[in-house]
Amino acid sequence: MSNGHTALDYLLSLEQFGIKFGLDNMQALVEALGHPEREYQTIHVAGTNGKGSVTAMVDAALRAAGYRSARYTSPHLRHLSERFAIDGAPVSTDVLERAAVQLRETVGALMARGRLLAPPTFFEATTAIAFGLFREARVDVAVCEVGLGGRLDATNVLSPAVTAITSIGFDHEEYLGSTLQEIASEKAGIIKAGVPVIVGEMPSEAFQRIAKTAAKRGAPLVRASGGSMMLDQGPTATGGRRVLARTPVRDYGAVALALAGEHQVGNALVAIRVLEALSASAGMSVPNSAVTQGLETVQWPGRLDWRTLPDGRHLLLDAAHNPEGARALARFLASSCPSPPALVFAAMRDKDAGGMLGALAPHVHTLLVTRARTARSADPDALAAVARDVGVPCRTLVEPSLDRALADAWLLTPTIVVAGSIYLLGDVMEALGLS
């Protein structure tokens, strides 16, 4: 092959094919690759919000227990390699390049034989690459986050030891349905016969739909909060939450959660119950000490992520990209910010910007709408119109240049918040040289 990252360029070019539901392509890819996903235990995590945090917590605890653990998540903040973490670290660019070469050659052979009628989507390709990378690294277990929905998501070729559905809320309605029951049905598609499913807090109509699917498939259903106690004792000195944790299986005592926000208490409970189910169903022992260490040391950038720049300026990065996530951020701002910060905001065109702004605007000094460096980003003027339509109570400024938006925000308040899209967070981190 030629010099440079030609295969990675090929991989990124697959983004033009957008989102395509269905498992035919993935089944062809994993079959051609020799089913790498069957060479290690897997944990499959779905949910509207919280699935990335739970994935990170479970992975951290597994590593603390001494297992060689991998993590597959999406999207990434800055670098594609972030999606493929082994032993807590992203794979190297060279390793990813070699995997992309193999994927490209596999796709070419499948298309030549007519086994693939069209190229895979970007997410199908990265999912197949993840499974292969984890086999090559000889991991014991991989924690895999669903990309979108569950039933027809590319990751749903897995035969996991445990599944989890963290939450159900409105997002991606054009793909998943317009009611909570419809969305829950799509996410419940990851439930497998006889495989335990851990379920977080969610509206009753969504839970009932998931429970119905679990019963139909003979999957043991564990409601994370059932018989459990997570007594929130307030914030830690580093911004996390201090809790007393006990489940029907174990008593964990005092735990200082590393991730900030009250919503992480519920995510931590889901992670705990997943690890308990893994110990029971797959024989992978994860002792109390490892569970606690994982929850207390996990790192998950861009989620209520406080940063201080060398010149003393402060910013809070949060990946809130739907109304439920925005409400969690709003609760954090209300309880943790003594004076309202300025908000730098961008959203993708297919997102409920009005729902997000309606939740956040009452808690910020000024709203500065901008754009992320992706073609999917909504026009800032359109976002300003949405802000007017939902009647945001704060001043709204339009600044298409992200650099200018950040500079203007810091002229208004010493601390600023950046939210609305994980793509925006990645752009900000790159602009400011943050890792």
pLDDT in tens, the chain (435 residues): 334 447 788 888 888 776 677 799 999 999 999 999 999 999 999 999 999 999 999 999 999 999 999 999 999 999 999 999 999 999 999 999 999 999 999 999 999 999 998 899 999 999 999 999 999 999 999 999 999 999 999 999 999 999 999 999 998 888 799 899 999 999 999 999 999 999 999 999 999 999 999 999 999 999 999 999 999 999 998 889 999 999 999 999 999 999 999 999 999 999 999 999 999 988 899 999 999 999 999 999 999 999 999 999 999 999 999 999 999 999 999 999 989 999 999 999 999 999 999 999 999 999 999 999 998 999 999 999 999 999 999 999 999 999 999 999 999 999 999 999 999 999 999 999 998
Question: Can you give the pLDDT at residue 4?
Answer: 42
Q: How far is CA 166 from CA 46, 264, 340, 382, 435, in A?
A: 6, 11, 30, 32, 27
Question: Which distant-in-sequence residues (6+ apart) come within 8 Å of 257 by Cβ?
Answer: 236, 240, 241, 242, 243, 264, 265, 268, 295, 296
Q: What is the DSSP string of 362-398?
A: GG-SEEEE---SSTTBPPHHHHHHHHHHTT-SSEEEE
Dihedral pair phi/psi, residue 296, rounded to 5°: -90, -15
CA-angle at 313, arms to 307 and 315, nearest 5°: 40
Candidates 301, 278, 303; CA nearest to 62 is 278
Alpha helices in 152-241 (DSSP H): 173-176, 180-187, 204-217
Question: Can you give the pLDDT at residue 174?
Answer: 83
Query: Rounded to whole angstroms, how far apart are CA atoms 424 and 347?
Result: 8
State the CB neighbour count (10 A cutoff) for residue 19: 15
Q: Quick check: 409 and 416 in contact, CB under 8 A?
A: yes
Question: Can you give the pLDDT at residue 171?
Answer: 86
Q: Helix, strand or coil for residue 252?
A: strand
Q: Which domains does the chain have, with CATH numbers?
A: 6-223+262-275 (3.40.1190.10), 305-432 (3.90.190.20)
Question: Can you give the pLDDT at residue 2?
Answer: 38
Question: Can you give the pLDDT at residue 239?
Answer: 86
Q: Can you give the pTM of this predicted structure?
A: 0.95
Question: Which distant-in-sequence residues (6+ apart) come within 8 Å of 256 by Cβ?
Answer: 236, 240, 241, 242, 296
Question: Can you give the pLDDT at residue 173?
Answer: 82
Query: Rounded to whole angstroms, how far apart are CA atoms 347 and 131?
Result: 31
| β pairing state of 314-317 and 305-308 | antiparallel
Query: Rounded to whole angstroms, how far apart are CA atoms 106 and 58?
Result: 32
Query: Rounded to whole angstroms, how far apart are CA atoms 300 and 80?
Result: 16
R_g of the chain, CA atoms, integer Å: 21
Question: Can you give the pLDDT at residue 11?
Answer: 87
Question: At 84, which helix (H) or strand (E)?
Answer: strand 84-86
Question: At 63, which helix (H) or strand (E)?
Answer: helix 51-64
